[in-house]
Structure 1
Amino acid sequence: MNWDDIKILLAIGRTGGLSRTAKLLGVSVSTVHRRAAELEHSVNATLFLRGNDGYALTDIGRSYFTISEQAEEHMIALERHELSGAKVALRIALPELLGQQMILPELGAFQVDQPNLRLEISTSVVPVEFNRREADIAVRLVRPESGRYLVRRIGRLGFGLFCSAGYSENMPAMNKVSDLRNHRLIGWDRDLQYVFLAQWMHDLTDGTAPNLSFDSLNAQLLAVQSGQGIALLPLYVAAHSDLKKLLPNTEFQQDIWLMRHRDTGDNQLAGDLCKVIEQVLYHHKDLLRTGVQPT
């Protein structure tokens, strides 16, 4: 097996389908199909169970998958070491909007005083793969089930339904959850239906498909601000965007988790960065939880 074989095996094992694997790796579905067959031929074993709903790993496939994950982690560490040179490189994964609007400015200010620190920051709704060590430090809204990370809860983030004032003036009455069926809903792309925000909207609306779907929370916010419909947004973001809150009884809170990879235990800068993240979220804890900043 070579590195390309490992990437195919890991991608199929993680996504469970040819089309999702092709999208993840930036190749065609036919290429994934061919390389999967070639991989099985090269190791003289059946690694995948092929079904109408996708691919699943066989017992042998899972064994190869576990070994490949370990090889991948070492490869990523080697690549990052080569790229960083004399600098200390740390990779940080942050939730979209929360990371961009609240945490990122503080990390930038911290880095100014650390000339030998290079930060690689990802702000996305798509969770990082902890088994792959895609991040040294991560802030997540769902607690991970695996990975060599130290995990602690550092706050809560509130969510609610919002629309613009312009949309509100022309929309039908909104008194109960079932009224949502009469409105334009803004939600998540079909490939992101596993995201907890998409699942919450799916359950709330009895599976009603959104009129507009996006692959980012920021795009949903912009669509709401321009009067395109109703979306589920963080309370603090909406409170600072002059939006109208709908159905307050549907609001909910999600725990905010801070993860630090165990291999950074001796890295002072990693520890300091975690403190920066904790401090900024603690300072805004009430705003994040309720959307209201105490006076």
Structure 2
Amino acid sequence: MAVRGFDWDNLRFFLELARQGRLAPAARRLRVDSATVSRRVSELERQFDTKLFDRTDGGFALTDAGRRLLPQAEGMQQLAEEAGDLRPERLAGRVRVATMEGIASQYLSRLLPGLRARHPALLVELVTSAALINLTKREADISLSFVPPRGPKLSIRQIGAFALFLYAAPAYLAARGTPADAAALAAHDFVDYVEDLVQIPEVHWLLDVVPEPNVVFRSSSMFAQQTAAACGAGLVLLPSFAGARDARLVPVLADQLQTERPIWLSVHEELAEMPRVRAVAAHIEAAVRADATNLLRPRWPAA
């Protein structure tokens, strides 16, 4: 669409408001005031003679026209960022990766900093949610989950899997005894998720190995469950990438009881070939594949 007197710089304000959904966060990212963001977006709407956002009490939501403009604006931003130098080490810009809290805090946060050596101008934002982030609505660029997301035009592939095992604090086992088999778990206490807050059924993984656990502590946070178990609250089922690295915990019945979850990497098809998105996705996939053995059969810390 050709527009006379078009100010291409207005697209920066459109993109940031589309990503943030509210004026104040977008203004902070752009280092301007909220009034400037509002004015520049309104100017863009006048130039296109169409409404790009619906204003609501909760913020700004893209209209159909805004959603059509978004991938084009992102492509133009990418070209502008790379126009000066197309070498891989000069990739620049922001890539937002979405996943669950446990994977983010105890796994991905260890993998992503390694990108800085090769791509120092890349900014990776790791966001967490109890529910699956909607890539179709551009809430993130990349999703890592153990449930494949749904939506049109998504590139989804399984890049690995992780195992989950029971863990307990040595002090808890000393006081209550170490269970010799699955039947002995009936006499033990457990830590688990808050049932009515579980938005993804697959996260209620304790029921895979203990159908009727005596739960004495619940939390919507996997890290909080892990901490409670480490303080002696009871047994907890944790992914290998969390439990096997925690010196406060020891595995329980690891040779008898375990379950698994796949790891899915997803990218919207319209973003998959953007160099910076492709670079981050490739880094995550390579790291997860290289860690395949530890994710499924971890090496327990020496006692």
> If the TM-score is normalised by the length of the shorter chain, which range does it land in?
0.5 to 0.7
Distance 2:68 2:125 in 1: 17
Q: Partner of 1:55 in structure 2?
A: none
Larger Rg: 2
Match of 1:291 among 277, 280, 298: 298
Match of 1:98 among 81, 97, 103: 103
Tell me the SS of whatever aligns to 1:227.
Answer: coil
**TM-score, normalised on structure 1?**
0.64
Are 1:163 and 2:168 matched, yes or no? yes
Q: Partner of 1:236 in structure 2?
A: 241
Are 1:253 and 2:251 matched, yes or no? no
Does the 8 A contact of 1:73 with 1:133 survive in 2?
no
Give unmatched runs, 5+ long, in structure 2: 1-60, 82-91
Give unmatched runs, 5+ long, in structure 1: 1-67
RMSD between superposed Cα atoms in Å: 3.4
Tell me which protein shows more helix as a share of its residues. 1
Distance 1:262 1:111 in 2: 25
Equivalent runs, 1:1-295 vs 2, <5 Å: 71=64, 74=67, 77=70, 88-111=93-116, 114=119, 116-172=121-177, 174-196=179-201, 198-202=203-207, 204-208=209-213, 210-242=215-247, 243-248=249-254, 249-292=256-299
Distance 2:240 2:229 in 1: 14
Q: How many residues align?
A: 224
Is the alpha carbon distance of 1:231 and 1:70 closer, same or farther for their aligned partners in structure 2, counting shifts above 3 Å?
farther
Does the 8 A contact of 1:236 with 1:290 survive in 2?
no
Distance 2:124 2:68 in 1: 19
Is the alpha carbon distance of 1:181 and 1:119 closer, same or farther for their aligned partners in structure 2, counting shifts above 3 Å?
same
Does the 8 A contact of 1:102 with 1:280 survive in 2?
no
Distance 2:204 2:234 in 1: 18
Q: CA deviation at 1:126?
A: 3.4
Q: CA deviation at 1:237?
A: 2.3
Is the alpha carbon distance of 1:251 and 1:278 closer, same or farther for their aligned partners in structure 2, counting shifts above 3 Å?
same
**TM-score, normalised on structure 2?**
0.63
- AA matched with 1:170: A
